[in-house]
Amino acid sequence: MSKADSSWAAYGALLAALLSEGVLFGVCLSFGVFQDYYSNRASLPHSDLSSWIGVLAAGIAYLGAPAVTYCCQNLTIPCHYYIYAGWILCLVGLVSSAFCHDVKTLIATQGLLFGLGLLVVEMSTLIILNTWFVARRGLAYGLLYGFTDLFGVAWGFLASSLLNQHGVKTAFLVFAAICFFIPGVGIFFLRERSSAAADSCSETASVKELTSTDMLREIPTADTLPPRRYHRHASFYIFLLSNLFQSFAFYLPFIYLPSYTTALGYSASTGAMVLAIANVAQVFGEIGFGSLSDRVGVHALVFFSAAAASLSAFLIWGFADSLAYLIVFALLFGGSASGFLTLWPRMGTMFAEHDASMIYSFLSLGRGLGVISSGPISSALLRVHGDIRDHGDDRIRHHYQAVVLFVGSCMAASAALGVVGWTSSYLKSKHVSQGGGGAAA
C-alpha cells in the first residue's frame, strides 16, 4: 500500500493531475485571447456575444461542481471513468469549434461542451487527489492551481500566435492535439489510492494531522467535534459567505487592470505586462497559502488573504496614477487574493474527511455565482461616473472609483467574516475544553 502525502506514488498522482486537469483548465484561462480575436479581428456573425463563451465555460465548471461530486461519491462508477468522459467532451468541444463559422455555435462548442467536460474532469481529479494527500493537501492544491495558472499564461501566448498567423481553425486543432496527448498521458496514470484502511480511517487521520499544528488550536479535534454534518455548523455558512464576498471582487482587477493602464497613457503591451505580473503573483500566492494551510488555522489565513487584498485595493489601486503603483498593486492583490482558493480543501477537512469534496463543491458553486454576478455589477458601477473624458485631471481614478470601492469593501467583508469564524471556533473549543475539564473534575 502506497503512503499518502510523501510516497512517490502520491507525487505521481499530483503530476498526473497537473497533466490532465491543469492543462485543460489552462486552456479555459486563455479564452480571453479568443474573445479579443472574435470581437476585434474575426468577421464572425454575432461577435457581440463572444463574452458568453468564457462565462459559460468557467461558470459551468464552478456551478455544476455539487452535482458531479454527488455522482462521483454516490454512484458505483470509478472516478477515473468520469475523467475519461469529461476529457472526451473537451476534445469534442475543441474539434467542433474549429469548424464553427459564427459565435452562437462557438458558444455551444467552446463554451458549453468544453465547460461540461472541464467540470467533470476537474471534480473527479480533485476527489482522486484527496485520496493521495491528507496532511499536505493544501500544498498539493496550491501546486496544482499555481501550475494551472502558468499553463493559462503559456496557452494564452500560444493562442495569440496561432490566431494571428493561422486563424481560428488551426488554433483549435492545435489545442485539440495538445489536449489529446498531454492530458491523455496524465489520465492514464491517475487512479485513486487503493486502501480499505485509508477509507475507514481517513477522517480521523485528516483531523489529527490538521489539529496538531493548527494556529491557536482553532479547529476541533476528533474527540471534541460534534457528531453533526457540516450543514449544521455555523462555520460552514461563514465560509460560504466569506467565499461569496471574495468571489464578487476577485476577478475585477484582472479584468480592468489592462484598460486602467492604457487609460493612464501606457501602451496595450504595458497593460498586458501588468496583467501578466498579477497572474505570476497568483502562482506564488496559491502555493504559499496552500502550504500554510497545512500548518496554520484556516480562519486566520482567510483574514490575512482578504485583508491584504482589501488594503491593496483601497490604498494602492485607489490612488494609482503611475505604472509603479499598478505593478505594486498587481503583485500584492494577485499574491494575496489568489491564496483564498487554496484554502477550500482545509475548509472541508475542518468538518469531516468524507464531506471535504462536497464542501469544496459548494464553495465552487459560490465562486461561480460571484464571478457571474460581478460582470453586470462592475458594468453598472462604471456607469456611475460616466465616461473617462467627462472628468478633469483625476478623471481615471474617478471613473474607476466605484469599482475600486466595491473590490475593497467585498474583500473587507470577507476578512471580517474570517475574524468572526476564528472567534466562534475559538470560543467553541474553549467551551468544550472547559466542559471536559469540569467533567474530569
Statement: residue 39 has pLDDT above 80: no
- Burial (CB < 10 A; 0-12, 13-18, 19+), residue 167, is middle
pLDDT at 375: 77
Within its chain, how far is the Cα of 148 from the centroid? 10
φ, ψ at 191 (rounded to 5°):
-135, 155
User: Lowest-confidence range among 62-66, 209-213, 226-230?
Assistant: 209-213
Q: What gap in Å lies between CA 393 and CA 322, rounded to an integer?
A: 13
Q: What is the DSSP letter of 349?
A: H
The closest of 283, 297, 312 to 411, measured between CA atoms, is 312
Label residue 11 by pLDDT band (50, 70, 90).
Answer: very high
Statement: residue 141 has pLDDT above 80: yes
Within its chain, how far is the Cα of 402 from the centroid? 25
Q: What gap in Å lies between CA 354 and CA 69, rounded to an integer?
A: 12
Label residue 51 by pLDDT band (50, 70, 90).
Answer: confident
Statement: residue 389 has pLDDT above 90: no
What tens digit of pLDDT does each residue of 169-216 get? 999 999 999 999 999 999 999 988 876 334 433 443 344 333 434 433
Written as nine digits, the cell of 111 is 463554451
Segments of the chain assigned to CATH 1.20.1250.20: 8-194, 231-428
φ, ψ at 369 (rounded to 5°):
-60, -40
Look up residue 257 and give its amino acid.
L
3-state secondary structure 123-157: HHHHHHHHHHCCCCHHHHHHHHHHHHHHHHHHHHH
Element (H, E) at 19: none
DSSP secondary structure of 314-329: HHTGGG--SHHHHHHH
Is residue 264 within 8 Å of residue 322, measured between CB atoms? yes
Of 385 and 356, the structure prediction assigns the larger pLDDT to: 356
Q: What gap in Å lies between CA 298 and CA 426, rounded to an integer?
A: 12
The closest of 123, 364, 350 to 236, measured between CA atoms, is 350
Alpha-carbon torsion (5, 198, 293, 211), positive or negative = negative
Look up residue 149 and give its amino acid.
D
User: Lowest-confidence range among 309-313, 372-376, 383-387, 415-419?
Assistant: 383-387
Statement: residue 82 has pLDDT above 70: yes
Is residue 287 within 8 Å of residue 299, measured between CB atoms? no
User: Lowest-confidence range among 2-16, 45-59, 217-231, 313-327?
Assistant: 217-231
pLDDT at 49: 77
Residue 144 burial (CB count, 10 A): 24
φ, ψ at 251 (rounded to 5°):
-80, -15
Statement: residue 328 has pLDDT above 60: yes
Residues 6+ apart with CB under 8 A from 432: 220, 224
Indicate the CATH number of 231-428 among 3.60.110.10, 3.10.350.10, 1.20.120.1230, 1.20.1250.20: 1.20.1250.20
pLDDT at 204: 38
Residue 149 three-state SS: helix
pLDDT at 171: 94
Apex 152 CA angle, 183 and 347, nearest 5: 85
Statement: residue 348 has pLDDT above 90: no
Q: What gap in Å lies between CA 387 and CA 129, rounded to an integer?
A: 48
Element (H, E) at 93: helix 79-97
Q: What is the DSSP letter of 18?
A: I
Cα 48 to Cα 52, 79, 204, 244, 265, distances in angstroms: 9, 38, 53, 29, 27
Label residue 433 by pLDDT band (50, 70, 90).
Answer: low
Statement: residue 146 has pLDDT above 60: yes
pLDDT at 385: 67
Q: What gap in Å lies between CA 136 and CA 133, rounded to an integer?
A: 6
pLDDT at 227: 43
User: Between 268-292 and 298-315, two packed helices, what is the crossing angle to 10 degrees?
Assistant: 160
Of 440 and 106, the structure prediction assigns the larger pLDDT to: 106
Label residue 386 by pLDDT band (50, 70, 90).
Answer: low
Helix, strand, coil shares of the chain, percent, nearest 5, are: 80, 0, 20
pLDDT at 28: 87
Label residue 394 by pLDDT band (50, 70, 90).
Answer: low
pLDDT at 1: 64
Mean per-residue pLDDT over the chain, rounded? 84
pLDDT at 326: 93
Q: Average pLDDT in the 342-370 region? A: 89
Written as nine digits, the cell of 137 is 493537501
pLDDT at 195: 63
CATH number for the region 8-194 comes to: 1.20.1250.20
Apex 260 CA angle, 61 and 406, nearest 5: 60
